[in-house]
Amino acid sequence: MTSRIPRSAPLPASLPPAGLDGLDPSFSRLVSAGDDGVTHEWHLLDNAARLAELGVTPVGTILCVHGNPTWSYLWRDLLTQATDAAAQGREAWRVVAVDQLDMGFSERTGEPRDLARRVRDLGDLTASLGLTGPVITLGHDWGGVVSLGWAVDHPDLLAGVAVLNTAIFQPEGTPIPAPLRLTLLRGVLGSATVATPAFLETTLSLAHPPLSDEIRDGYRAPYLEADRRAGIGGFVADIPADESHPSHPELARIAESLRYLAVPALALWGPEDPIFGDRYLDDLVDRMPHADVHRFEGAGHLVAEDVDYAAAVLTWLGDRGTELGSLGTAAANPSRFTVPEPVEGPAGLDDDDLDPNRFDEDYVKPVVEGNPAGLFRYLDPLRDSTDTALVEMAPARGSEPNVVSWRLLSKRVRQIAAGLAMVGVKRGDRVSLLVQPGADLTAVLYACLRIGAVVVVADAGLGLKGLTRAVRGAWPDHVIGAPAGLAAATALGWPGQKISTARYIKPVRRSLDVAYSLGDLVSLGVEEELPDFPAPDDTAAVLFTSGSTGPAKGVVYTHGQLAALVDALADTYGVGVGTGLVAGFAPFALLGPALGARSVTPDMVVTSPKTLTATAVAAAVAAVDATVVFLSPAAITNVVATAHSLTDADREALTSVQEFLSAGAPVSERLLAAASALMPNATAHTPYGMTEGLLMTDITLEGIRDAALTLGGPGGVCVGLPAASTRVRISALNAWGEATGELTDEPMLTGEIVVSAPHIKDHYDSLWLTERESRRGALTGERWHRTGDVGHIDAEGRLWVEGRMPHVIVTEDGVVTPVGPEQQIESVFEVARAALVGVGPLGEEQLVAVIETVPPAFRVSLATSAMASAVRGSVELPIAAVLVVPQLPTDIRHNSKIDRVRLGDWAADVLTGGRMTRP
C-alpha cells in the first residue's frame, strides 16, 4: 500500500447528529463486524426495524455503498421511499446503506485500506448482519466498484446489481480524469482532501441544480474536523492510476468478472459528470451488455441529488420482481455467472421465415438473390447497372450536378465496407456520421450497414451543444466526417477513431486527429471479402430526434425495422425501381437506394429547410425525372414564397410529379394547396410520424378538405388513416390530464396517441425509463409507442391531433387540448396564428390566448377590447386574457411548431406584472 495515503488516529463510530435534512434518525444503527479477531464498528442506515413494525417481510435487501467523499446520507431518499412503499402495501425492500470504514460516522481505523480490503470489509459486515438473499447491490463513485466487488464474491446471495456514476476500469492508455490527477499530485493530496475540506466542497458543487445549504450541511456533518477526513484522502490515493498501483489487480479482477455476471443490472447515469463521464458508462455496458441504462440529461456526478433515482430503482425492482426473487436463495446458484458462447455470424432466413401467412413485427420480406430484403434488396442486384442511382445537385457551388450510377454506388459501398473492416470497424461498432447528405454520406451509410456497424445520425440542426450531447451520449467507436464535423469532434473531445471524407496533408490530418480518409478505405478495400449480411434483429442505426420536445433522444432501429419502413413507403406511395425521388427531408434522402429509386437532394442546406427555393425543387425534379417529391413543412413555406421565380421550363418539369408529400410538423390546408398548385398533376399527402415511427398515418389534400366538412368534437388537425400495417390506439386522459386509459380505438375519445407497426423503433438508446414509459399499457410481447401527442379517432377511423401531452391544460371545468381552440381563434379575420396556454396551478389553470395579428404587431401588448371580444366569441371556452405578440416562439428545428411550454411560462410572468418583452 502506498505510504502517501494520509493516516489519522483511531476514532470510534458514532450516530449522526439529529436534525440532518431529510434523514430519519430511526434508520441509524451501529454494528460491529470483523475477521480474524479484529473487529470494527460501522454506522449504517437500515429500515429493517421499521419494516418489522409494519409487519411486512421484505422481498430482499438493497445493499447501498457510497463513494468518496459522501456517506450513507446519499441514500436517504431510497430508505424513505422504500419504507413508504411497504407502508402502502407495495413491494417491501429492506435497504442497508453503509458508511465505509474511515468514512461517514463509521470507525476511523487509523490504518490504510486498499480496494481489496474494502471489498473484504463489506463482506465482513454483511456476514455479521446475517444478510440473506436476494441482495441487490447499489453503488456510486468508488462505492460502485466496492459494491460490485462484493457482488462477484457473493453469488449465493446476489440477485442483481445497480450503479450510479462510477468507473469500473480505467482503459489502457487513457489517463484518469484531470481533477483526480491534480488531486493526486504531491503537495496537493493531503491539503486538498484532509487538511482542508476542498475536495468535499468541490464534490458538493457538482450538483445540478446546486444543493441547499441544509443538504450541504448533511454531507459535511461527518467531516467537520481534519482528523475525520483521512479516509477521503485515503480513497483518492487508492485510485489505480496505472498498472503499478497496488489496487490495480483487484480492480482488474472485479472488472473482468463482470463480463460473466448474468444477473439483472441497472445503470443510472448523470452525463454532466466531469469525473466519471460517458466513456465509463460505455465500458460498463461493454462488460454487461444486458444492463438497463438510463442517462438523465442535465444530471451530473451527484446524480442521486440531481434526479429521483430512488423511484427509478424501485420501479426497476418492481419490473424485475419475479426474476430477482427467483435468484435470491441461500444456496450457490451458478446461473449468476455464465461463460459466453462463441459469437457466430448472422443466420440466413430459412423456409419458416418466409411463410407468406406469417404476420408479426419481426417479419421481413424474402431474400433477393441471396441478400436479405430491405436495405440491400436493390443495391447489390443493380451492381452492374449504369442507370442513375443518385444525383448531387451542387457538390460544390457553381459546379455541375454529380450523377452517380448504381454500378458506381454499389462498388463504392463494397469498397468502403471492406476498407472499414480493414481499419478495425467491427460488427456492432457505432459509427457517427458527420457528413452532409449526398453521395459520400449515402455510400458511407450503406457501407457501415453492410458490415453490421451501427450508424449514429444526428444533424447539425441540433446546434453545437445539442450535437455534442447526442454524439457523446451515443459514444461512437468511430467518427466519419467532413472538415467542419471533424473539427468540432476534435475540439470538443468527441470519442471515436476519426475518418475524413477527403484526403488532407499531414499537418491537417494531425490537427483533426484523422486516422484515415475515405480514399484510404477505398484503396484498402479493393480486394477484401465482405462479411455475411447482418441479421434482421441486428441493430442498424441510432437516429436522434429533433430536440423540439426536450433533449434529443437516440432512437434505435434494427435492420428488420428499417426494412419494414422501406416496405411501408413502397406500399403506401408506390416508390420503387424506376421512381425518381426528390428528398428535401434528410431521413428519406438516405432511403432512395433501399427503395431502388433514383434519388436527389435539392440544392439547399438540409439542416435549414427554409433555404430551399422553388427553382431548386424544379431543378431537382428535372435531374431525375422525379415522380415523387418529399419536403418538410418549413421548406414548403419558402418554396411557395419563391414560386414567382419559376420559369416556364421549371413549371413544365414540375408537371411530372405524381405524389407530393410533406411531414415533420402539421401542414395547413392553405399551405398544402399552394404547394400542390405548383405540381398540378400530383396528389398531395401529409403523412403523420416522428423519428420513432416515420410513417404512421397518411392523408391527402382532398382528405383534409373532406375532414373539414365533418369537423366535430374537440377538433384538431386530421392526419388521416393508418398507413401500411400501422395500428393506432388512444389512451384516454384522466381528470388531471394524464394518459391512464387502456389502449382503445373507441371513436371521439381524447387521449394520448399510441401506435404500433413493424417499422416503429426498437427502443430508445440508454433511456430505460423513457422507453418504459413509451411502452406503458402494452400487452406483453406487443410493441407499442406512446407518441406524446394527444388526439382522437373519429367515426371514420381517421386520426386527429389535438396537441402535445405537455400542452394539455387542466382547468377547474375540465381538460382542454389546445389545437382545436387555436384553429377557431385563427378564424378571426385579424388573427394570423394563435396559441392557447394555461396559467396557474394544475386543476385551476386559466386559459390565455396569445396571438399574432395581421398586420404584425410591433410590440407585446394586451389585445384591444374589440380584438379580445372577437377571440372570446370564436370559442366556447372562458378565455381569461388575450395577449398580442409580434411573433410566436417556435422550437429550434420546426418553425411551424409553437413552443407552448415556453409561451405559458412567459404569459404567466407577463400577467403577474413582468415586463412586456417578446416571448
C-alpha to C-alpha distances, 259 to 154, 291, 337, 357, nearest whole angstrom: 16, 11, 9, 41
Supply the angle between the helices 142-153 and 248-257 in degrees, to the nearest 10: 60
Confirm if 437 and 589 have CB atoms less than 8 A apart: yes
**Residue type present at position 796:** E
pLDDT of residue 360: 33
Instruction: Give residue-wise pLDDT tens across range 177-196.
Output: 666 666 666 666 777 788 89
Q: In 3-state terms, what secondary structure has residue 91?
A: coil
- Compare 599 and 330 and report the one with higher pLDDT: 599
Q: Are 681 and 728 members of one domain?
A: no
pLDDT for residue 171 is more than 70:
no
Q: Are 52 and 155 members of one domain?
A: yes
Q: Are 156 and 35 members of one domain?
A: yes
- Compare 438 and 880 and report the one with higher pLDDT: 880
Q: Are 779 and 837 members of one domain?
A: no
Q: Are 261 and 281 members of one domain?
A: yes
Q: Are 636 and 667 members of one domain?
A: yes
The residue assigned the cell 410533406 is: 662
Query: Of 285, 312, 336, which residue sits at a domain end?
Result: 336
Provide the CATH number for the domain around residue 535: 3.40.50.980
Q: Are 548 and 586 members of one domain?
A: no
pLDDT of residue 331: 34
Q: In 3-state terms, what secondary structure has residue 752?
A: strand
Q: Quote the CA–CA distance of 270 and 296 in Å, as a whole number.
A: 5
pLDDT of residue 380: 83
Is residue 226 packed enough to be buried (19+ CB in 10 Å), middle (13-18) or exposed (0-12)? middle
Query: Of 805, 837, 861, which residue sits at a domain end?
Result: 805
Cβ neighbours for 283, distance < 8 A, ≥ 6 positions apart: 167, 168, 169, 171
Confirm if 659 and 683 have CB atoms less than 8 A apart: yes
Task: Give the pLDDT band of residue 623 (cuts 50, 70, 90).
Answer: very high
Q: Quote the CA–CA distance of 723 and 702 in Å, as a whole number.
A: 17
Of 892, 72, 84, 110, nearest in space to 549 by CA: 892
Q: Which three cell numbers stand for residue 878?
A: 372562458
Q: Are 633 and 675 members of one domain?
A: yes
pLDDT of residue 545: 86
- Compare 768 and 530 and report the one with higher pLDDT: 768
Q: What is the mean pLDDT of residues 211-221?
A: 98
Q: Quote the CA–CA distance of 380 and 11 in Å, as a whole number.
A: 74
- Compare 388 and 400 and report the one with higher pLDDT: 388
pLDDT of residue 354: 28
Q: In 3-state terms, what secondary structure has residue 346?
A: coil
Of 16, 17, 42, nearest in space to 30 by CA: 42
Q: What is the mean pLDDT of residues 397-419?
A: 89
pLDDT for residue 908 is more than 90:
yes
Single pTM value for the model: 0.89
Provide the CATH number for the domain around residue 873: 3.30.300.30
Of 300, 561, 526, 370, nearest in space to 449 by CA: 561
DSSP conformation class of 806? G
Across 53-62, 415-424, 425-434, 892-901, least confident range: 892-901
Supply the angle between the helices 406-422 and 439-450 in degrees, to the nearest 10: 50
Q: In 3-state terms, what secondary structure has residue 233?
A: helix
- Tally the C-alpha atoms within 13 A of residue 310's C-alpha that lie toward its C-beta: 17
- In the predicted model, what is the mean pLDDT of the chain? 87
Residue 227 lies in a domain: no
Q: Are 794 and 839 members of one domain?
A: no
pLDDT of residue 549: 66
pLDDT of residue 37: 80
Residue 559 Cα to chain centre, angstroms: 19
Beta bridge partners of 883: 850, 862
Q: Are 861 and 882 members of one domain?
A: yes
Residue 360 lies in a domain: no
Cβ neighbours for 915, distance < 8 A, ≥ 6 positions apart: none
pLDDT of residue 484: 82
Q: What is the mean pLDDT of residues 118-145?
A: 96
Beta bridge partners of 541: 455, 557
Going across the sheet that includes 785-793, the strands are 688-690, 693-698, 717-722, 799-804, 785-793, 751-756, 727-733, 739-744
Q: Which three cell numbers stand for residue 384?
A: 452492374
Q: Are 474 and 491 members of one domain?
A: yes
Instruction: Give residue-wise pLDDT tens across range 648-702.
Output: 999 999 999 999 998 777 677 888 999 999 999 999 999 999 999 989 999 999 9
Q: Quote the CA–CA distance of 715 and 690 in Å, as a whole number.
A: 21
pLDDT for residue 1 is more than 80:
no
Of 280, 231, 228, nearest in space to 258 by CA: 280
Residue 205 lies in a domain: no
Residue 211 lies in a domain: no
Look at the chain and report how many structural domains it folds into.
Answer: 5
Of 481, 424, 439, nearest in space to 456 by CA: 481
pLDDT of residue 528: 66
Cβ neighbours for 407, distance < 8 A, ≥ 6 positions apart: 382, 383, 384, 385, 386
Cβ neighbours for 172, distance < 8 A, ≥ 6 positions apart: none
DSSP for 283-321 reads HHHHH-TT-EEEE-TT--TTHHHHS-HHHHHHHHHHHTH
Across 102-106, 398-402, 782-786, 806-810, least confident range: 398-402
Q: Which three cell numbers stand for residue 690?
A: 416522428
Q: Are 704 and 817 members of one domain?
A: no
For the chain, report the end-to-end CA distance as a whole number of angstroms. Answer: 60
Q: In 3-state terms, what secondary structure has residue 409?
A: helix
Q: Quote the CA–CA distance of 166 and 268 in Å, as a whole number.
A: 10
Residue 190 lies in a domain: no
Provide the CATH number for the domain around residue 725: 2.30.38.10
Of 280, 694, 675, 693, nearest in space to 685 by CA: 675
Q: What is the mean pLDDT of residues 358-374?
A: 38
pLDDT for residue 129 is more than 70:
yes
Helix H or strand E segment including 600: strand 598-601
Provide the CATH number for the domain around residue 331: 3.40.50.1820
Residue 426 lies in a domain: yes
Instruction: Give residue-wise pLDDT tens across range 693-751.
Output: 989 999 999 999 999 887 667 889 899 999 989 999 999 999 999 999 999 999 999 99
Q: What is the mean pLDDT of residues 326-333?
A: 41
Q: Which three cell numbers stand for residue 34?
A: 470483523
pLDDT of residue 6: 56
Residue 607 lies in a domain: yes
Q: What is the mean pLDDT of residues 367-387?
A: 73
Q: Which three cell numbers stand for residue 703?
A: 382528405
Across 257-266, 364-373, 442-451, least confident range: 364-373
Q: Quote the CA–CA distance of 637 and 609 in Å, as a whole number.
A: 9
pLDDT for residue 236 is more than 70:
yes
pLDDT of residue 358: 26
Residue 452 Cα to chain centre, angstroms: 22
Of 254, 252, 274, nearest in space to 172 by CA: 252
Q: Which three cell numbers stand for residue 548?
A: 423540439
pLDDT of residue 178: 65
Query: Of 336, 355, 381, which residue sits at a domain end?
Result: 336
Q: Domain span at residue 839?
A: 808-911
